[in-house]
Amino acid sequence: MGSKTYINYCGKPKSGKTTTIAFLIDKLKKANGFEKYNCEKEGKQTVSPKEYMCTIEITTKNTKRIVALSTYGDNIETLKDNHEFFDKYSPDIMVTASHCHNDYEHNSFIDNYVSDKNDALKKLAINREVFNYIKISSIKIDANDSSIEKKNDFYAEYLYNLIMDSLKMLDLQEEILSSKNTVTC
């Protein structure tokens, strides 16, 4: 078992977070090694058909990896739903949208979740596990601005590359750990 990565895509309301993660999901479904897509509407606060939670299985170097994504995180209740969803599937990579841009309550809630998970992973794996936390802030563009789709697509591509690089790092980490466990005489 390798490290886990939590990506918090945060920004102000109407900054395109939900749309960007929906674009990201489409990109991941087209990824090399894509195997399975599972979509759930578990969140109690779901208000839009664009807002949902899903898992995507991608095989890298013969290992099935799970990426869990939630397109919403507007308040603490939805973030709790997201974390329950992540805990249910125990994914390698977690992605959530959130309104934590300059919001102490949201930032603290996510920081505590990541810290608790990191502590638990360290205890389980004798300090070899790492729970990475990456926070990316979306810039707000006026909804009437013609460049909004380009911005959303840019961020989706950026997040896609970040996820694919993280999956490669997991493979590399496992190769290194397994080679350290191999004894040659």
pLDDT tens, N- to C-terminus, the chain (185 residues): 457 888 888 887 777 888 889 889 989 988 877 877 887 764 444 444 566 889 999 988 878 899 999 988 888 888 898 999 999 998 999 999 887 656 778 888 888 888 887 776 666 554 445 567 777 777 665 556 667 788 888 889 999 999 998 888 888 877 877 776 555 54
CA distance 68 to 62: 19
Q: Where are the domains of the chain?
A: 4-174
Quote the radius of gyration of the chain (alpha carbons, Å). 17
Buried residues in 43-63 as b, exposed as e (16+ CB within 10 A):
beebeeeebbbbbbbbebeee
CA distance 70 to 55: 9
The answer for residues whose C-beta is within 8 angstroms of residue 128's C-beta and 6 or more apart is 177
CA distance 40 to 11: 23
The torsion of the CA quartet 9, 99, 39, 80, rounded to 10 degrees, works out to 110
Using alpha carbons, list the distances in angstroms from residue 174 to 40, 128, 178.
30, 11, 6
